[in-house]
Amino acid sequence: MQRQSSSFTIRHANSRDVGHVSDVLAESFYRSADRQVNFLTRRFTNWIYPLLRWGIVFDLSSRFSEKTPCYVCLVATHSTNQSQAIASLEICMRHVPVKSPHEFWLGHETQQYPYIFNLAVHPQWRRRGVAKQLLLAAEQTVKQWGFSRLYIHVLEDNQAASHLYDRIGYRLDSQEGNMGFWLLGRSRKFLLQKKLD
């Protein structure tokens, strides 16, 4: 699978991409200037950053080597350097709650559906449409697998991601983390769903 849009190319990642994808994930989730953290937290993160990145490399390498059906990592590259990933996302099968009229009494029922995780764009490449291109490519992959729904989580305070998901058709499916929100002041996690044509 290879998809080109404007100056970005979306393709399946391979083992040679592990280092670049790890850099994108580590920069996005631990060092990004968008994250509001205090001085001590930032210093501590910088100090343990090599360990954090090593953990990401290890996790990615193990997922790539498992050859799990219905798993893929997509990467975006720019025309200036086709070998360096500047953004990525992963899709796997995950159990998600399904609505049931007996849910209150019997608990949640779950089914497996394609689920997007680790969507990240390197800070230098944000706000150029690459995340949208990755999400649209993920939809095509999931359709090829024979599914008509796709799920993703978003934190309540991640307004940029929420707006993007809303614009391309993701809708609220359920809300998680209410206890942490009320007791610890943590952001709630929303499970979003998109029905694919």
pLDDT of residue 126: 92
Residue 185 has pLDDT above 80, yes or no: no
Alpha-carbon distances of 118 from 25, 107, 115, 132, rounded to whole Å: 7, 28, 10, 14
pLDDT of residue 21: 97
SS3 35: coil
Q: What is the mean pLDDT of the chain?
A: 87
Contact 21, 76 (CB under 8 A): no
pLDDT, mean of residues 134-146: 96
Give the pLDDT confidence of 35-91 residue by residue, as tens digits.
566 778 778 888 999 999 999 999 999 999 998 889 999 999 998 898 999 999 999
The residue among 89 and 108 whose pLDDT is bigger is 89
d(CA 180, CA 161): 21
Burial of 121 per CB tally in 10 Å (0-12, 13-18, 19+): buried
User: Where residue 96 falls among pLDDT bands split at 50, 70, 90?
Assistant: confident
DSSP 148: S
pLDDT of residue 20: 96
Domain spanning 2-147, CATH class? alpha beta
d(CA 87, CA 126): 9
Domain boundaries, given as residue ranges, for the chain: 2-147
Whole-prediction pTM: 0.86
User: Where residue 19 falls among pLDDT bands split at 50, 70, 90?
Assistant: very high
- E strand or H helix that includes residue 19: helix 18-26
